[in-house]
């Protein structure tokens, strides 16, 4: 906030019920005119010193004090005396001479300048007054939230920011990154995983970065090969694979899952990223040989598997064929087989099949269909969580 703007914000109320505007007392007119002259000459420190002498005069009327506070706010803003500005503005709030509009404006300014002066209690007090008065812009929520955080009051910081962010999102607007950062940091201080996950979801929705995807996916706790492979699929698609072990584990899991195509793809991505070197190179080469051999057998039998799947009464074999095509990045064929699998039913893990279908639809350019499919994933908490994250990712692609 530019402190020089404080002076321009000052104003005096002249209500319709006042026949005459208030004036300063006769004995203050001369010294205040001298203060004005010093201001016009750019001598704000001298003007402030003169003001303090005027302020010390006995018998001042309430309006005299109002004008002194106005002048003091201007002088202190010019000399960058933040605590002085806050005190002068605070003195004008609800003094009977400040307009309702300026009362709200000064309340916000006191919160901001108090925060600058590291008077966090006052920043919280006046910031909350502005919020309750319905006049607080996003910046005030950030001021109050940060003040709570710096006072180690993480619970109130979360309550404030979570409620504000939800309101901003409800209006279809984008939350400020500062508010999201305060929320995330406060959740982390309390070691609240559910809170952290929610804060990270906001982050990845509005300010997506690979490092945010790394954080949010690190909170996913997959059980078994199906959930592990699905977790790696989203990690790979969002740039959240950070080391060679991720690619090796994805390839190993894919082989166990019966998807050599996914294994080959993982190993190729790890190689292209330059992360399968050194000690990991020999393991990667061994897995590559295994994956290629399995893929050759798998691909040669796929036409027959697909034919059998199409003739089957339930969708189990279609789901298997769809998984294979997905691993080989043959997305149109994967969509065809996985759609049949879902339609026929009788699946052992419908949530996994639906998630595979959504991925194939997204990869084949059918984003809207993919989002609908992701939203239909139910049954496994982990797969449901991954599906909701795929929805966020899909809308950003």
End-to-end CA distance of the chain: 36
Share of the chain above pLDDT 90, in %: 89
**pLDDT for the residue 128:** 96
Residue 214 has pLDDT above 80, yes or no: yes
CB 364 within 8 A of CB 331: yes
**pLDDT for the residue 206:** 96
In a domain, 22, yes or no: no
Residue 320 has pLDDT above 90, yes or no: yes
**CATH code of the domain containing 143:** 1.25.40
Tokens in use for 348? 């052992």
Could you tell me if 251 and 173 lie in one domain?
A: no
Domain boundary among 107, 136, 165: 136
- The number of distinct structural domains making up the chain is 3
Could you tell me if 131 and 171 lie in one domain?
A: no
**pLDDT for the residue 236:** 96
361-376: average pLDDT? 98
Could you list the beta-strand ranges (E) of 168-219: none
CB 249 within 8 A of CB 232: yes
User: Per-residue confidence at 17, pLDDT binned at 50, 70, 90?
Assistant: low
In a domain, 387, yes or no: yes
In a domain, 214, yes or no: no
In a domain, 242, yes or no: yes
Residue 16 has pLDDT above 50, yes or no: no
Distance, in Å, from the CA atom of 137 to the CA atom of 107, rounded to the nearest integer, reads 12
C-alpha distances in angstroms, 35 versus 38, 39, 41, 77, 80?
A: 5, 6, 10, 15, 18
Could you tell me if 200 and 335 lie in one domain?
A: no
Could you tell me if 160 and 57 lie in one domain?
A: no
Could you tell me if 87 and 68 lie in one domain?
A: yes
User: Per-residue confidence at 7, pLDDT binned at 50, 70, 90?
Assistant: very low
Listed residue (54, 76, 56, 59) closest to 10, CA to CA? 76
Could you tell me if 186 and 312 lie in one domain?
A: no
Distance, in Å, from the CA atom of 26 to the CA atom of 148, rounded to the nearest integer, reads 46
pLDDT in tens, 44-71: 999 999 999 999 999 899 999 999 999 9
In a domain, 339, yes or no: yes
Listed residue (238, 156, 168, 158) closest to 199, CA to CA? 158
Tokens in use for 80? 């960058």
Could you tell me if 247 and 355 lie in one domain?
A: yes
Distance, in Å, from the CA atom of 246 to the CA atom of 231, rounded to the nearest integer, reads 11
User: Per-residue confidence at 341, pLDDT binned at 50, 70, 90?
Assistant: very high
User: Among 123-137, 314-328, 373-387, which stretch is predicted with the lowest mean pLDDT?
Assistant: 123-137
Could you tell me if 65 and 159 lie in one domain?
A: no
In a domain, 246, yes or no: yes
C-alpha angle 391-212-139 in degrees, rounded to nearest 5: 95
Residue 307 has pLDDT above 60, yes or no: yes
Could you tell me if 102 and 192 lie in one domain?
A: no
347: left (phi over 0), alpha (psi -120 to 50) or beta: beta
Share of the chain above pLDDT 70, in %: 95
Residue 6 has pLDDT above 60, yes or no: no
Distance, in Å, from the CA atom of 291 to the CA atom of 262, rounded to the nearest integer, reads 9
Distance, in Å, from the CA atom of 205 to the CA atom of 240, rounded to the nearest integer, reads 15
Could you tell me if 47 and 112 lie in one domain?
A: yes
**pLDDT for the residue 82:** 87
Distance, in Å, from the CA atom of 339 to the CA atom of 330, rounded to the nearest integer, reads 14
What domain range is 42 assigned to?
Answer: 1-12+27-136
Residue 315 has pLDDT above 70, yes or no: yes
User: Per-residue confidence at 19, pLDDT binned at 50, 70, 90?
Assistant: low
180-185: average pLDDT? 98
Residue 135 has pLDDT above 80, yes or no: no
Could you tell me if 126 and 197 lie in one domain?
A: no
In a domain, 217, yes or no: no
The count of other CB atoms within 10 Å of the CB of residue 272 is 10
pLDDT in tens, 68-120: 999 999 999 999 998 899 999 999 998 999 999 999 999 999 999 999 989 99
C-alpha distances in angstroms, 240 versus 127, 236, 244?
A: 38, 6, 12
pLDDT in tens, 234-289: 999 999 999 999 999 999 999 999 999 999 999 999 999 999 999 899 999 999 99
Residue 355 has pLDDT above 50, yes or no: yes
Torsion of CA 15, 16, 19, 21, to 10 degrees: 30
CB 177 within 8 A of CB 207: yes
How far does CA 249 lie from the centroid of its chain? 30
Could you tell me if 290 and 353 lie in one domain?
A: yes
């Amino acid at each position: 906030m530019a402190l020089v703007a404080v002076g321009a914000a000052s104003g005096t109320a002249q209500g319709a019920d006042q026949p005459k505007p208030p004036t300063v007392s006769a004995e203050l007119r001369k010294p205040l005119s001298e203060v004005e002259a010093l201001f016009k000459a750019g001598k704000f420190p001298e003007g402030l010193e003169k003001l303090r002498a005027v302020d010390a005069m006995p018998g001042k009327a309430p309006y005299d004090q109002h004008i002194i506070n106005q002048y003091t706010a201007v002088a202190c803003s010019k000399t960058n005396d933040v605590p002085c500005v806050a005190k002068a503005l605070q003195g004008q709030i609800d003094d009977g001479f400040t307009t309702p509009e300026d009362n709200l404006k000064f309340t916000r300014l006191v919160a901001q300048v108090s925060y600058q002066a590291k008077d966090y209690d006052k920043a919280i007090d006046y910031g909350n007054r502005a919020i309750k008065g319905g006049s607080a812009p996003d910046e005030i929520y950030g001021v109050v939230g940060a003040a709570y955080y710096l006072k180690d009051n993480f619970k109130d910081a979360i309550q404030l920011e979570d409620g504000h962010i939800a309101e901003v999102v409800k209006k279809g607007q984008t939350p400020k990154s500062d508010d999201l950062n305060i929320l995330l940091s406060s959740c982390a201080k309390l070691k609240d995983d559910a809170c952290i996950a929610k804060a990270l979801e906001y982050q990845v929705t509005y300010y997506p970065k690979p490092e945010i995807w790394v954080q949010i996916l690190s909170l996913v706790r997959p059980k078994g090969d199906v959930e592990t492979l699905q977790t790696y699929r989203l990690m790979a698609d969002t740039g959240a694979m950070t080391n060679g072990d991720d690619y090796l584990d994805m390839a190993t899991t894919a082989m166990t899952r019966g998807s050599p195509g996914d294994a080959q793809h993982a190993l190729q991505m790890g190689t292209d990223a330059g992360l399968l070197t050194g000690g990991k190179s020999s393991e990667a080469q061994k897995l590559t040989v295994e994956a290629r051999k399995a893929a050759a057998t798998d691909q040669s039998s796929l036409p027959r598997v697909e034919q059998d799947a199409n003739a089957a009464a339930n969708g189990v074999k279609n789901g298997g064929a769809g998984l294979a095509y997905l691993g080989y990045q043959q997305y149109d064929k994967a969509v065809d087989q996985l759609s049949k699998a879902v339609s026929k039913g009788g699946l052992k893990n419908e949530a996994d099949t639906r998630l595979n279908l959504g991925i194939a639809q997204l990869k084949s350019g059918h984003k809207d269909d993919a989002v609908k499919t992701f939203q239909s994933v139910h049954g496994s908490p982990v797969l449901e969580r991954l599906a909701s994250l795929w929805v966020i990712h899909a809308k950003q692609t």
